Structure 1
């Protein structure tokens, strides 16, 4: 199968209505079915159902090993774990106190909905097939929980979004569908303000697609959101499938070579042997014969032509290193130097390339995540009166926040000691904190609290010194035996 990314489904319609929604859906389905077949292939490839399992061998077909070295699963697992290994976090882009409180409440809502795990599901899907889909809806009546909304990760084999074929390619229709027990397909179609349920009945072929339900919704946007991995919607291992197939074939042939070496064919040269004698030879492991013609030397040997494992391993290593380079994954070369620093290892072993690919994925993810936040904030504004805008929220990936922490702490210390740099800039650019504004606010409050405590302690000490000065029994303060004698006599009523 030739794979070159998923196709974007588009329409020329500028508005989705009850009159044209069936037409839009009917034109979109053939493109979706092509994408669906490719997604199904990639999904099976990820699970280990790869072309080498259909391998056939013409020569000695009884020796036909089928080895799957599932590097596709390794690539997806690493990519998803590296990108989403730590939970995504929403932080404040402003300094207002009410914004920080609202964002904390929003983080509590998404935590209640197990969003980190659902982000991992999204990452798995778009690394496998190049795209993924999420759906968000308000809680239904009587099913309210700790969060006013519900988050769903949709199967991209049964979901698609139709975009406008004009400037900006705005989403026009979000579609998800299920197949019931009678093989009837139920399409749930969402436009910006309307919901359509369309049924393709196998029992009523003449009528085809039929609208069975039509409602208006107040979500303010399409609740089906697409999260593409890249512009071409190419999966993480899709570009290297030919190399992965070649690695599987090479490994299978290597095992065949070993097995054929062990089960080598026997050569009888100038030896006449019957089938019964050969069977006896296999059972007893020895044969006795003599030269029939003194001029012709009889010989019994094995046909052996072993595979050069060293050269084969070099080829496999080359293909695997090429896969890692194309996919932007760290290699396993390691190093023998004892003076390697952390930065040197990161550059040498390919971790910098992995980080660059992750940052590229972050930008695409954030674009879709803002659409998700817009829907979530609309729901929260309606149900819990949360006054928060998307522009107030910064999306942060926290996977490498504590890497090189000593260097970041030193940068923070140097910037704080520089009187020409505002402390807020030091907190923002040192890279030590996920939410630099929150860290600066807490630190400023802590410093103010410590200064207040120090001031109170100083005032208390000064007060205690004043009390000691006014104490009549204090010889040192009132001129006692060791003080001024004249002052002592004056207080006692005597004079010179």
Structure 2
């Protein structure tokens, strides 16, 4: 890495900012229709935004990671440490934000660092938006990371930041001549680039990016619909065959009564000017756009009035497309988690060492509507077929199945197993 190459890489990355800004604005309710040229002052000019972008992102991520990821290891010491660093870093919230950023931009980054507090070193984990960081990969078939770069503008508007390779962190800033100067360096113990990428999918497309034009078209159609309603509310009154003074016009406007007479009353015409109505066409277009937005994005419209009327397997079939989307997201997210714990193990500063990160198991739980009665019946049926821990993991109300087994064993003074409480069959005669 040289100063010239670093500046070139940052300039190339800044070329993506336009796309990032556009996607961010859509999520934050700042859609294209708000920036269109204004119409003439005498024309209705409504700018309605139906924020399907935010709805798609929040619904998908509520389904995918609304129930926090469960991380555990067979070794108690390591398991306790994993719980500690998750709480130390508010990792449930970090994971949720990281997942949301991936759904907005198509990818995002996580950075791991050593956080020294009261002379004690703790593993720090945080997420980074893709507008201020990127990873440089080699051109091998594997695409191994070579550098992780994070940059930002200082209070004076100068470029500052740092980049890391597998062993060292390099800090840089911009001088008065607009040149990048690499200054202080600091070794790290992670054994790999400590900025790593999470992706939504292989193409790095955001969750609503494929329906962006449909969302813009829906906003436009709905706004024109509102314009038509406003137009009809302010329609012109046409009077042919009579000349009215200003006083008469004011009486018509204020009293909303038309009372006219004259010798040529048969030729008198009083009516409102109306433009042709396209109400049915507009309604059909809006309905079609809404259906296509959810169909193409593969995210379920859970506010649909028919959604809650189904249960069991029928509901899961309806959510199948969103489940497929979440499965892809899960595999990509798991890859990032593997990098996180592998680098923590590389430091040698934690109970997690060497290849022990391979023993970490992660459980993603879809945020389906809970049916505790159905779940308890499944858990009972699994008793004796699977381990007690696996049987209990079916219950959405149980956060840590292993710990729950321990609690039950303590309750029944048994070190081996436990028995589910069977319902008594009552025969009524």
TM-score norm. by structure 2 comes to 0.84
What's 1:486 paired with?
Answer: none
Aligned-pair RMSD on alpha carbons? 3.4
The 5 Å alignment of 1:407-426 reads 407-413=377-383, 415-416=384-385, 423-424=386-387
The 5 Å alignment of 1:131-142 reads 131-140=107-116, 142=118
What's 2:356 paired with?
Answer: 389
Question: Aligned to 1:166, which of 140, 160, 170?
Answer: 140
Q: Does 1:33 align with 2:14?
A: yes
Q: Does 1:230 align with 2:197?
A: no
Find the residue that maps to 1:87 and give its secondary structure.
strand
Q: Does 1:86 align with 2:67?
A: yes
**Contact 1:229–1:364, Cα closer than 8 Å, also in 2:** yes
What's 1:420 paired with?
Answer: none
User: Structure 1 residues 448 and 301 mapped into 2: Cα distance closer, same or farther (>3 Å)?
Assistant: closer
Find the residue that maps to 2:172 and give its secondary structure.
strand
The 5 Å alignment of 1:97-112 reads 99-112=75-88
Q: Does 1:343 align with 2:313?
A: yes
Q: C-alpha separation between the residues in 2 aligned to 1:68 and 1:452?
A: 59
Aligned length: 411
What's 2:335 paired with?
Answer: 367
Question: Aligned to 2:299, which of 329, 332, 335?
Answer: 329
Q: C-alpha separation between the residues in 2 aligned to 1:442 and 1:151?
A: 30
What's 2:185 paired with?
Answer: 214
Q: C-alpha separation between the residues in 2 aligned to 1:139 and 1:214?
A: 17
**Contact 2:345–2:352, Cα closer than 8 Å, also in 1:** no
Task: Please list every run of 5 or more consecutive structure 2 residues that lacks an aligned counterpart in the other structure.
Answer: 418-429
**Contact 2:72–2:82, Cα closer than 8 Å, also in 1:** no
What's 1:432 paired with?
Answer: 394
User: Structure 1 residues 239 and 302 mapped into 2: Cα distance closer, same or farther (>3 Å)?
Assistant: same
**Contact 2:346–2:354, Cα closer than 8 Å, also in 1:** no
Find the residue that maps to 1:378 and give its secondary structure.
helix
What's 2:285 paired with?
Answer: 315
Q: Does 1:204 align with 2:177?
A: yes
Q: C-alpha separation between the residues in 1 aligned to 2:219 and 2:53?
A: 11
Q: C-alpha separation between the residues in 2 aligned to 1:222 and 1:300?
A: 79
User: Structure 1 residues 32 and 388 mapped into 2: Cα distance closer, same or farther (>3 Å)?
Assistant: same
Q: Does 1:188 align with 2:162?
A: yes
Question: Aligned to 1:48, which of 7, 29, 54?
Answer: 29
User: Structure 1 residues 371 and 252 mapped into 2: Cα distance closer, same or farther (>3 Å)?
Assistant: same
Task: Please list every run of 5 or more consecutive structure 1 residues that lacks an aligned counterpart in the other structure.
Answer: 1-19, 417-422, 454-496
Query: Which protein shows a greater Rg?
Result: 1
User: Structure 1 residues 447 and 189 mapped into 2: Cα distance closer, same or farther (>3 Å)?
Assistant: same
